[in-house]
Amino acid sequence: MQYRPLGRTGIQVSPYALGAMMFGSALGVGNADHDDAIRIIHRALDAGINFIDTADVYSYGESEEIVGRALQGRRDQVVIATKFGRPMSEDPNQQGASRRWIRQAVEGSLRRLQTDYIDVYQMHRPDPGTDLEETLSALTDLVRSGKVRAIGTSGLPASDIVETQWLAERRGLERFRTEQPPYSILNRGIERDVLPAARKYGMGTLVWGPLGQGTLTGRIRKGQETDLRRTRFFTHVSDARRLDVVEQLVPLADEAGLPLTHLAVAFAIAHPGVTSALLGARTMDHLDDLLAGTKVTLPDDLLDRIDEIVPPGTDVGPLDQAYVPPALQSTAARRRAPADRAAA
């Protein structure tokens, strides 16, 4: 497997990365068999994957524990990325990006991963309630102490990417070196601004959801209830607009002699702004199917036809778990007060 530079960190990573969200009892649909999950991780490593992404919140630490056990004796050959920020309990201080929580969260991740350093420590979602300088200052301390090699973000809008880079330079703080956005044939919105901004500042990008969170597996088709387990948790899976696109992609993949999964992942890593795509395998069969496509390269004419189905820079329907900024979440941020509207 060929490797790519992770932005300007100097770290070399595989274009296919293993996502560990489905290891543990997450949502009741994850792989709760620790030994089986460890075998899956070892299979990925043996295939040349050297990049594993997890988070403290995945099964509330269980995923990190599985990864930590799997990497005993192989730690130095693997680039570990994990995340902090999502709620770990009902305690309001066990979440977010405050210095208080970052210092506590990193110690928990280090303990569960059974390591004394994390290669890429990522802010799982933006935290509007915490000053960015506070967050960057705390993360800078972790880098300087050796507990973290590089810091990154997940779901950061392009405008915030620019702001954080400016702030780091202005204050002499560590810069965010990576970004982890959603990206697939169905969700290409980041091509407009996030990917260009990340490239401008030399950030590596680890994209999640290259299979559209299951929609691009070929197992979910329009008019067919073929994967009810997944549709219980992800409403986007049954979105008619997304399924219409799938019906156009299936014959395209067949014509190219490719499974839809291989077409989808190869598309994600074809973008020059993408470093790696996360393979969120839950079973060995899932992983083996995806590994069989690691040498697939899509020709320009095929990429052109995908562009005709889903134009560059566009999203087809909403994506569950994607970050929604406060400016869109609150109606008060989008509408003037009735008295102000009347006065206008």
What string of H, E and C letters represents the secondary structure of the chain? CCCEECCCCCCEECCEEEECCCECCHHHCCECCHHHHHHHHHHHHHCCCCEEECCCCHHHHHHHHHHHHHCCCCHHHCEEEEEECCCCCCCCCCCCCCHHHHHHHHHHHHHHHCCCCEEEEEECCCCCCCCHHHHHHHHHHHHHHCCEEEEEEECCCHHHHHHHHHHHHHHCCCCEEEEECECCCCECHHHCCHHHHHHHCCCEEEEECCCHHHHHHCCCCCCCCCCHHHHCCCHHHHCHHHHHHHHHHHHHHHHHCCCHHHHHHHHHHHCCCCCEEEECCCCHHHHHHHHCCCCCCCCHHHHHHHHHHCCCCCECCCCCCCCCCHHHHCHHHCCCCHHHHHHC
Which residues 6+ apart lie within 8 Å of 94 measured at CB? 87, 88, 101, 104, 105
Per the CB < 8 A criterion, the answer to whether 38 and 66 are in contact is yes
Catalytic annotation, residues: 58
